[in-house]
């Protein structure tokens, strides 16, 4: 593992001591000295750039190509180090190393494309192959470097796990330049990027230079990946690309909003991650950045209003509750239509519960739901519907029969096969559709309210 | 080749066992397009290892194994959850889950370091084959036949042997189920083979194999071996049983080749040996590339060769058909310039040489003329061409001036429409069928 990463010199952090509120405020408000500011600002800018680029990588389904790309930089880093050292320069010159990383990373991506295009291997196998073989070649070269000159190789392993604190002012300027390029390109070419991401075949037919746009998007991924190597390391840099984009995807369907949100999430993760790393001892920034964005991802996946899991679960539960209530109200309406009052008696209720598999708790929830809506309530083991509930039950029963008639007369389904599909559809027929069905069936001289089948049994005539 | 019993026996055995296990299971990952699950799992076991280590504050191998296996399973479940519940694209779901897990692991290692506990994530990446050296080895191979040998077998080798046995038993006993669920999960489910259960069973085994292998050989080699041998074999054959056999051969070749190559190749340049796991990965990659380029059935070279042969045959066809049509208008031989135009930019000299080789043309005199064999072959081509034209006008309802390009394409295929027309839409006579052919 890399040597311990203490906070920058401006912060006299003692091991395992929590920072005071004043220290936290200093770091977050850029008052903690030049070095700390440089690191935090540079990482945040990198996060912004990675977030934006990641959106397009995600939409192009290239998330893991970016992973292979970052792993494939290792042999290039090592070779650049070896060549530079052999020529008598310092092997740790950043531009030289990054140039080597870029070359081998791009080579790796080209290899993936060749394998996918010219062999029968699927893309996932090609990605995994390039990722592991290039990284394996990198470890071989790393072991050569380690035996050649002891000590000088230490700088290279930083690129595997990242070392944010090593960021200099010029590195931060580099990040700023990259972020500016990415923002400018995303703003200028949003339409072109969107077109190629969502429908490249159409874009090609429509005369857009799809290959050029695609290469540009890939070049941005390369740029951000290589820039991120030093900050978060080549194993985790892919997280800076993917996670903000995936998290932002839960909140919006609009591309510009997606890009904006991903940039904010990425920037915030970088800012908080680098700050935490500066404040707390032994908190490698790369890992903290990824974990911060991971938290944002979890929150998004759970809590996003439309695509979030919680929202979806609530919607589903509400739908199921509504359907269950419909069943009960339908039964009440049929009872009242048969002249037995707006009441589902205990034995009919028991039959329904058996048929639908409602336990005591589910029945209670359904009762509470109906009561709150003023549709009916349980009374001494039976269910009594209000007039509003009866009306609702009448509509469900009508939908049921309408759909049955439609299936028999227009979809040629045997009457004995109806129940299952009808049971599902009766709850979701919209009012315009119901009107249309009534009209269509009336035109053919079919009475939508005629019974298709006789009651199943005399004593359980509730289900028509 | 120098084989030192003490230094090489157990590391090599461990490497071969690990690559065999991964190579065997990898066949199904590659077929199911789940090759990257190995990648995800091997990254994500890191926090499991560290937590197990922090809880037990010892390097108890069984507990570490349990922790890693638990983390592997959590990863599989989480990826599935993110993919299904969050409706996230599979690749991105994997990337999110394993990078967050790995980051957690890195952070936990730093916390462990704060308590003066040394944990090295490098050994997770690269493995520690060299620690398996057997310092009390006998001097000769004959000395291996002793109880002492069994006692000295390192834990990693035992573990990997068990893992290989379990994996082999899984594949052998559930071969039919694995095959059908890998190729067509929908059909499998409709036949009563639970595709989901097979998926999770395979994932559990991959997680276990990853965990068992990485201590010895490192996770990079595990990722490579879950894909490379199977990919190599898939490029060589279309049959699953053959593919599995070939993948095992490739796995052993990569392990042994990489192991000895790590010492021998640098040794040739007077350099110390390099990382063995890394060089095995490289050998595995070289095998894939070799198969991709040289495979007789699916290789790049074979494909190029077949394409060139087809192009050449088409050019020769066009050449003799042109000569035949020239004969119809009264020219027994045609000059090179006319033929060059007819070949539409394809190389005339090579085409002439190919046709001459097959005895179809004679160009010793002025101009090029057909031999008897050439005339028969050309008559068959022109016959097919005109039959197709007639068919396209009569039965497909195309205009007579639109049928030539299609017929020009179809004439090269060994089939003709069954019509008894004698004249094509342009009024040209359709040659009689070759009486020698049925």
What is the nearest CA distance from B250 to chain A, expressed in angstroms?
Answer: 14
Nearest by CB to A125, from B87, B94, B231: name it: B231
Q: Check whether A230 has a pLDDT greater than 50.
A: yes
Distances (CA, A) of A402 to A324, B139, B393: 20, 90, 52
Task: Choose among A51, A147, A336: nearest CA to B273.
Answer: A147
Q: For residue range B395-406, what is the model confidence (pLDDT) as tens digits?
A: 888 888 889 888
Task: Please name the residue that has the structure tokens 């809880």.
Answer: B55
Q: What is the pTM of this model?
A: 0.83
**Residues on chain B touching A246 (C-beta within 8 angstroms):** 86, 88, 92-93, 96
CB atoms within 10 A of CB B216: 27
What integer pLDDT is reported at residue B292 of this predicted model? 93
Kindly state the percentage of chain A with pLDDT values over 90: 33
Percent of chain B predicted with pLDDT > 70: 91
**Residue A281 scores a pLDDT above 90:** no
Give Cα separations from B71 to A242, A327, B205 (angstroms).
21, 45, 13
CA distance B296 to chain A (A): 12
Per-residue pLDDT for B140 more than 80? no
> Higher pLDDT residue, A152 or B147?
B147
Taking the CA of residue A143 and the nearest CA in chain B, the distance in Å comes to 6
Alpha helices (runs of H) in B269-371, residue ranges in sequence order: 276-294, 300-328, 336-342, 348-357
For range B303-314, the mean pLDDT: 92
CB atoms inside a 10 Å sphere around CB B241: 10
Q: Which of the two residues, A162 and A392, has the higher pLDDT score?
A: A392
Looking at the complex, report in whole angstroms how far the Cα of residue B320 sits from the nearest Cα belonging to chain A: 33
Specify the pLDDT at position B254.
95
Higher pLDDT, B120 or A258: A258
* Residues of A in Cβ contact (< 8 Å) with B111: 282
pLDDT at B436: 63
> CB distance from B13 to chain A under 8 Å?
no
Give A133 to chain B, closest Cα distance, Å.
5
pLDDT tens sequence across B182-217 = 998 889 989 888 888 888 889 888 888 888 887 778
Smallest Cβ–Cβ distance between B33 and the set A1, A122, A161 belongs to A122
Question: Could you tell me the end-to-end alpha-carbon distance of chain A, in angstroms, rounded to an integer?
Answer: 73
What is the tens place of the pLDDT at every residue in A395-404? 888 888 888 7
**Nearest-CA distance B395 → chain A (Å):** 33
Task: Tell me the chain B residues in contact with residue A137 when contact means C-beta distances shorter than 8 Å.
Answer: 278, 281-282, 285
Q: What is the pLDDT of residue A268?
A: 94
**Closest partner CB to B94 (pick from A64, A125, A235):** A64
Q: Which two tokens stand for residue A229?
A: 């190597």
| Angstrom distance (rounded) from CA A425 to CA A46 | 51
Report whether pLDDT(B244) > 50. yes
Within 10 angstroms of residue A29's Cβ, the number of other Cβ atoms is 9
CA distance B409 to B314: 9
| Paired residues of B361 in beta bridges | B370
For residue B340, the distance in angstroms to the closest alpha carbon of chain A comes to 32
Tell me: pLDDT of B10 over 90.
no
Q: Taking chain B, what is the end-to-end CA distance rounded to the nearest angstrom?
A: 62
Contact between chains at A129 and B288 (C-beta distance less than 8 A):
yes
pLDDT at B362 over 80: yes
Q: What is the pLDDT of residue B23?
A: 95
Give the minimum alpha-carbon distance from A164 to chain B in angstroms, rounded to a whole number. 14
pLDDT in tens, A52-107: 999 999 998 888 899 999 999 999 999 998 888 888 777 667 788 889 999 999 99
Return the residue of B nearest to A308 by Cα: B86
Closest by Cβ to A1, choosing from B120, B262, B278:
B120
Give the CB-side neighbour count of residue A190, counting CA atoms within 13 A.
12
Looking at residue A398, what is its pLDDT?
Answer: 83
DSSP state, B141? G
Q: With contact defined as beta carbons under 8 Å apart, do B28 and B94 qualify? A: no
Of B94, B114, B288, the CB nearest to A282: B114
What mean pLDDT, rounded, does chain B reach?
A: 86
pLDDT at residue B143, as a whole number: 67
In this prediction, residue B435 carries a pLDDT of 65
Beta strands in B115-270, from DSSP E residues, in sequence order:
none
pLDDT for A13 beyond 50 = no
Q: Which of helix, strand or coil describes residue A60?
A: coil
- 3-class DSSP assignment, residue A344: strand
Q: Which residues of B touch A294 (CB under 8 A)?
A: 96, 99-100, 103
CB contact under 8 A, B227 and A64: no
Mean pLDDT of A357-382: 86
pLDDT averaged over every residue in chain A: 82
Cβ of residue B88 closer than 8 Å to a chain A Cβ: yes
Q: Which residue in the set B38, B277, B284 is minimally distant from A133, CB to CB?
A: B284
**Contact residues on chain B for A127, CB-CB shorter than 8 A:** 35-36
- Residue located via tokens 């083991």: A381
Tell me if chain B has a CB within 8 Å of the CB of A4: yes
Residue-wise pLDDT for A105-152, tens only, equals: 999 999 999 999 989 899 999 999 999 999 999 989 988 888 776 555
Q: Centre a 10 Å sphere on the Cβ of residue A394 and count the other Cβ atoms it contains.
A: 17
CB contact under 8 A, B281 and A137: yes
Does residue B264 carry a pLDDT above 90? no
- The rounded distance, in Å, linking the Cα atoms of A186 and A179 is 10
Give backbone dihedrals phi and psi of B436, rounded to 5 degrees, phi first: -75, -20
Residue B370 dihedral angles phi and psi, to the nearest 5°: -85, 145
Residue A362: HSE in the Cβ half-sphere, 13 Å Cα cutoff: 17
Among B residues 22-81, those touching chain A with beta carbons less than 8 Å apart: 30, 33-36, 38-39, 43
Given this model, what pLDDT does residue B48 score? 86
Q: Which of residues 301-340 of A touch B (CB under 8 A)?
A: 301, 307, 309, 312
For residue B282, list chain A residues with Cβ-Cβ distance below 8 A: 133, 136-137, 140
User: What pLDDT is recorded for position A455?
Assistant: 36
pLDDT of residue B121: 64
Number of residues that make up chain B? 438
Question: Do B329 and B335 meet the contact criterion of CB atoms below 8 Å apart?
Answer: no
> Angle at which helices A237-249 and A210-232 pack, to 10 degrees?
120
Distance in angstroms (rounded) separating the CA atoms of residues A144 and B428: 75
pLDDT of residue A52: 95
Tell me the chain B residues in contact with residue A120 when contact means C-beta distances shorter than 8 Å.
234-235, 298
Angle made by CA atoms A43, A45, A51, in degrees to the nearest 5: 100
Partner residue facing A1 (CB), from B86, B122, B226: B122
Contact B114 A67 (CB under 8 A): no
A61/B122 CB distance under 8 A: no
The answer, for B85 touching chain A at a CB cutoff of 8 Å, is yes
Residue of B nearest to A295 (CA): B100
Distance from CA of A31 to the nearest CA of B (A): 26
| Residue A346 reports pLDDT greater than 80 | yes
Measured CA to CA in angstroms, residue A436 lies from A18, A289, A403, A421 at distances of: 69, 56, 11, 19
Q: Is A460 on the interface with B (CB under 8 A)?
A: no
CB contact under 8 A, A124 and B91: yes
- Per-residue tokens: B395: 């039965």
Q: Is residue A201 a contact partner of residue A208, using CB atoms and an 8 Å limit? A: no
């Amino acid at each position: 593992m890399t040597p311990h990463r203490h906070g920058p010199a401006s912060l006299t952090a003692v091991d395992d001591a929590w920072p005071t509120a004043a220290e936290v405020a200093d770091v977050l408000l850029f008052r903690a000295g030049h070095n700390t500011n440089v690191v935090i600002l540079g990482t945040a800018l990198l996060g912004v750039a990675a977030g934006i680029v990641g959106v397009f990588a995600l939409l192009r389904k290239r998330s893991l190509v970016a992973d292979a790309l970052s792993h494939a930089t290792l042999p290039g880093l090592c070779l650049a180090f070896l060549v530079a050292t052999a020529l008598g320069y310092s092997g740790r010159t950043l531009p030289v190393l990054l140039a080597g990383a870029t070359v081998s990373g791009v080579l790796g991506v080209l290899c993936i494309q060749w394998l996918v295009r010219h062999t029968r291997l699927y893309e996932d196998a090609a990605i995994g192959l390039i990722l592991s073989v290039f990284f394996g070649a990198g470890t071989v070269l790393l072991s050569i470097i380690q035996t050649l000159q002891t000590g000088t190789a230490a700088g290279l392993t930083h690129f595997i796990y990242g070392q944010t604190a090593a960021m200099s002012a010029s590195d931060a300027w580099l990040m700023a330049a990259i972020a500016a390029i990415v923002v400018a390109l995303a703003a200028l070419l949003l339409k072109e990027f969107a077109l190629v991401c969502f429908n490249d075949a159409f874009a090609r037919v429509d005369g857009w230079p799809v290959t050029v746009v695609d290469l540009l998007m890939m070049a941005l991924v390369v740029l951000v990946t290589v820039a991120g190597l030093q900050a978060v390391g080549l194993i985790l840099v892919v997280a800076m690309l993917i996670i903000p984009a995936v998290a932002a995807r839960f909140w919006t369907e609009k591309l510009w909003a997606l890009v904006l949100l991903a940039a904010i999430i990425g920037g915030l993760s970088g800012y908080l991650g680098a700050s935490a790393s500066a404040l707390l001892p032994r908190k490698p920034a790369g890992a903290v950045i990824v974990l911060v964005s991971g938290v944002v991802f979890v929150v998004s996946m759970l809590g996003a209003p439309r695509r979030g899991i919680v929202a979806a679960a609530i919607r589903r539960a509400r739908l199921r509750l509504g359907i269950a209530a419909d069943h009960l109200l339908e039964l009440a309406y049929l009872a009242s239509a048969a002249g037995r009052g707006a009441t589902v008696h205990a034995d009919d209720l028991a039959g329904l519960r058996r048929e639908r598999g409602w336990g005591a708790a589910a029945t209670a929830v359904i009762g509470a739901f109906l009561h709150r809506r003023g549709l009916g309530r349980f009374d001494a083991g039976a269910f009594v519907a209000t007039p509003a509930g009866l009306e609702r039950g009448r509509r469900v029963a009508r939908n049921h029969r309408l759909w049955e008639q439609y299936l028999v007369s227009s979809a040629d389904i045997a009457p004995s096969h109806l129940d299952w599909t009808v049971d599902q559809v009766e709850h979701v027929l919209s009012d315009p559709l119901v009107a249309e069905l009534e009209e269509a069936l009336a035109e053919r001289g079919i009475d939508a309210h005629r019974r298709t089948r006789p009651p199943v049994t005399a004593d359980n005539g509730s289900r028509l | 080749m120098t084989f030192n019993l003490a230094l090489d026996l157990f590391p090599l055995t461990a490497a071969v066992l690990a690559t065999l296990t991964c190579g065997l299971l990898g066949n199904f990952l590659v077929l199911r397009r789940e090759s990257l699950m190995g990648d995800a799992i091997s990254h994500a076991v890191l926090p499991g290892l560290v937590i197990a280590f922090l809880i037990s504050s010892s390097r108890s191998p069984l507990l570490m194994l349990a922790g890693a296996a638990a983390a592997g399973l959590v990863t599989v479940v989480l990826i599935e959850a993110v993919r299904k519940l969050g409706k996230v694209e599979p690749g991105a779901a994997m990337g999110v889950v394993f990078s967050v897990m790995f980051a957690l692991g890195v952070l936990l290692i730093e916390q462990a370091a704060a308590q003066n506990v040394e944990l090295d994530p490098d050994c997770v990446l690269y493995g520690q084959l060299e620690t398996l050296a057997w310092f009390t080895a006998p001097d000769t191979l004959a000395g291996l036949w002793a109880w002492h040998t069994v006692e000295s077998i390192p834990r990693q080798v035992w573990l990997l042997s068990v893992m290989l046995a379990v994996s082999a038993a899984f594949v052998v006993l559930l071969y039919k189920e694995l095959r059908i669920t890998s190729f067509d999960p929908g059909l499998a489910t409709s036949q009563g083979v639970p595709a989901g259960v097979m998926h999770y069973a395979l994932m559990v085994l991959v997680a276990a194999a990853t965990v068992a292998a990485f201590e010895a050989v490192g996770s990079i080699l595990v990722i490579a071996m879950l894909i490379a041998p199977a990919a190599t074999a898939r490029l060589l054959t279309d049959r699953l049983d053959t593919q599995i056999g070939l993948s095992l051969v490739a796995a052993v070749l990569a392990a042994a080749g990489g192991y000895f190559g790590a010492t021998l190749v640098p040794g040739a340049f007077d350099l110390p040996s390099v990382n063995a796991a890394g060089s095995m990965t490289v050998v595995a990659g070289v095998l894939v590339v070799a198969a991709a380029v040289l495979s007789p059935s699916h290789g790049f070279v074979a494909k190029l060769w077949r394409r060139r042969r087809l192009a050449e045959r088409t050019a020769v066809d066009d050449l003799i058909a042109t000569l035949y049509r020239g004969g119809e208008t009264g020219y027994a031989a045609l000059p090179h310039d006319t033929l060059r135009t007819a070949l539409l930019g394809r190389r005339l000299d090579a085409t002439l040489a190919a046709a001459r080789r097959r005895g179809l043309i004679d160009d010793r005199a002025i101009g090029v003329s057909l031999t008897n064999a050439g005339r028969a072959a050309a008559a068959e081509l022109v016959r097919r061409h005109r039959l197709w034209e007639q068919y396209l006008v009569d039965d497909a309802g195309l205009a007579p001036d639109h049928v030539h390009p299609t017929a020009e394409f179809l004439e090269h295929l060994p089939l003709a429409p069954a019509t008894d027309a004698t004249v094509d839409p342009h009024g040209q006579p359709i040659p009689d069928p070759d009486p020698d052919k049925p």
